[in-house]
Amino acid sequence: MSSCVQAELTCFEASCRERFAITEVLYNCPKCGGLLEATYSGPRPSAAELRDLFRQRRLSNAPLDTSGVWRYRELFPFLNDNAHVVTLREGNTPLLDAPIAAQYGGLDKITFKHQGFNPTGSFKDNGMTCGASQARRLGMQRVACVSTGNTSASMAAYAAAAGLEALIFLPHGNISFGKLAQALEYGARTLEVEANFDQILALVRVLAERLGIYLLNSMNPFRVEGQKSIIFEMLDQRDWNPPDWIVLPGGNLGNTSAFGKALREAHELGLIQKMPRLAVIQAEGAAPFYELFHQGGELHAVTNPETLATAIRIGDPVSWPKALHEVRSSCGTVEKVTEQEIADAKAMIGRAGVGCEPASAATLAGIRKLTAAGVIGKSADVVAVLTGNVLKDPDYIYKYHTGKLETPSGAKIRATFGNQSIVVPNDPDRIAALLQ
Ligand code: F0G
């Protein structure tokens, strides 16, 4: 892409930092087992040149420029040729104000960066366009992932667009219908395994190695590169004025890793002068990162993670070493929230006219706790990232509003902000009487 910049894969472990060619098919460091990241060396344009370039591209109709990911391609220059790019014009997601949600969260103002506006309805598209493009560049025929739903929907779409065969592994019975439906519609071979996400990830790693399939889970360093664009686009939309806090839900922690890397790189390149703080929110029944952050040591996996926010039902997040580094170096924090708190926050985001899927609502629930505890100030400038579209999990919505939602252990969730539909006869007098 840029002939003078050199891209490599580098071990993330500070004690190793072994480097590999960018075209090697690796997910972990062969020397120490650490996570890998894409690193770049060589001359880069100045911050002013980059800002101008990104702004100019908004006037262009070229496919790469109209993608809210590839518009920022100088900030992840791992491809040698743009012809490899597969784009569905991902990104381009809005920043939305939501006064009702701000008030609920204990803030004067909140801004949602809504990744649910993506082509397959989640932030996964930001990363998948890069992962699928790298798969094409490597000459791969088949791609695979395990997923709580959104990764599979996204991978299925990008594989189809790229002419790759998609193989999807899902935890049977723990994926929302909207997401499963997407995988089928985009033509992926879909296997529902009777195991949880963490167990299936171990299985898929073995199969990928044995069958020579390219893995597109979030430890794939190119997906992380693409997800950095969520931050770059948000900063560009704010004229490179960073917020005080960026709040996001945490599952496998790929997004937390991507956000931290994006912020550090934007800072190093002089695109921003100040580092925002990261706040990662987990569901109480799947909160190993919360425990790690507050207790220190190594990550203790949760063997039976449970949450109705199935997107973040993960007990053994692979990217925790990166995520821990990013949250610590941003002076950030990690919070956990209950099923009731997620459900009510989600309804509030809906009332604001914004809407999102359950995992995304963990952000507002977490903000409410963090403002109450005085960690986030009332007047702080907060961007919360909504990771998935409201229509991803309609079953959850219907159950909440009709008072039928229950936690995984069978406790009732109150429909605090419930809104039920009413069945009426085809009779104008009776309907008018009801509406008076
Ligand atoms: N929000 C949504 C809507 C998600 O789908 C996910 C992850 C997350 C948050 C957590 O992001 O894993 O980067 O910390 N979904 C993955 C999947 C695991 O398979 O779709 P993370």
Which CB contacts under 8 angstroms, 24+ apart, belong to 324-327? 324/289, 324/292, 324/293, 325/12, 325/260, 326/256, 326/257, 326/259, 326/260, 326/261, 326/263, 326/264, 326/278, 327/256, 327/260, 327/278, 327/280, 327/293
Does residue 154 have its Cβ closer than 6 Å to ligand 1? no
Residue 139: count other Cβ atoms within 10 Å of its Cβ: 9
Distance from the CA of 366 to the center of ligand 1, in angstroms?
16
pLDDT digits (tens, 9 = 90+) for 135-186: 999 999 999 999 999 999 999 999 999 999 999 999 999 899 999 999 999 9
Q: Which two tokens stand for residue 121?
A: 């309805």
Does residue 118 have its Cβ closer than 6 Å to ligand 1? no
- Shortest-distance Cα residue to atom 4 of ligand 1: 311
Does residue 122 have its Cβ closer than 6 Å to ligand 1? yes
- Shortest-distance Cα residue to atom 19 of ligand 1: 147
- Is the pLDDT confidence value at 4 over 90? no
Identify which has the larger pLDDT, 242 or 2.
242
Mean pLDDT of 184-194: 97
Distance from the CA of 150 to the center of ligand 1, in angstroms?
7
- Is the pLDDT confidence value at 271 over 80? yes
Ligand 1 atom index nearest CA of 323: 14
- What's the pLDDT score for residue 13? 97
Quickly state the pLDDT bin for 218 (edges 50, 70, 90).
Answer: confident
Quickly state the pLDDT bin for 349 (edges 50, 70, 90).
Answer: very high
- Is the pLDDT confidence value at 2 over 70? no
Does residue 250 have its Cβ closer than 6 Å to ligand 1? yes
Residue 276: count other Cβ atoms within 10 Å of its Cβ: 25
- What's the pLDDT score for residue 3? 54
User: Quick check: 224 and 261 in contact, CB under 8 A?
Assistant: yes
d(CA 302, CA 297) in angstroms, rounded, equals: 15
User: In DSSP terms, which residues pair with 384 in a beta bridge?
Assistant: 112, 247
Looking at every residue in the chain, the average pLDDT score rounds to 97
pLDDT digits (tens, 9 = 90+) for 74-112: 999 999 999 999 999 999 999 999 999 999 999 999 999
Mean pLDDT of 37-42: 97
If phi over 0 gives left and psi between -120 and 50 gives alpha, with beta otherwise, what is residue 409?
alpha
- Is the pLDDT confidence value at 331 over 80? yes
208-212, 228-232, 339-343, 415-419: lowest mean pLDDT where?
208-212
Quickly state the pLDDT bin for 1 (edges 50, 70, 90).
Answer: very low
Best mutation site among 179, 215, 227, 387 for ligand 1, i.e. most ligand atoms within 8 A of its Cβ?
Answer: 387
Mean pLDDT of 333-352: 98
pLDDT digits (tens, 9 = 90+) for 368-408: 999 999 999 999 999 999 999 999 999 999 999 999 999 99
d(CA 150, CA 222) in angstroms, rounded, equals: 17
Distance from the CA of 174 to the center of ligand 1, in angstroms?
14
Ligand 1 atom index nearest CA of 255: 13
Quickly tell me which residue has 């939501």 as its tokens: 98
Cα distances (Å, whole numbers) of residue 101 to 91, 282, 355, 365: 23, 19, 11, 10
- What's the pLDDT score for residue 330? 97
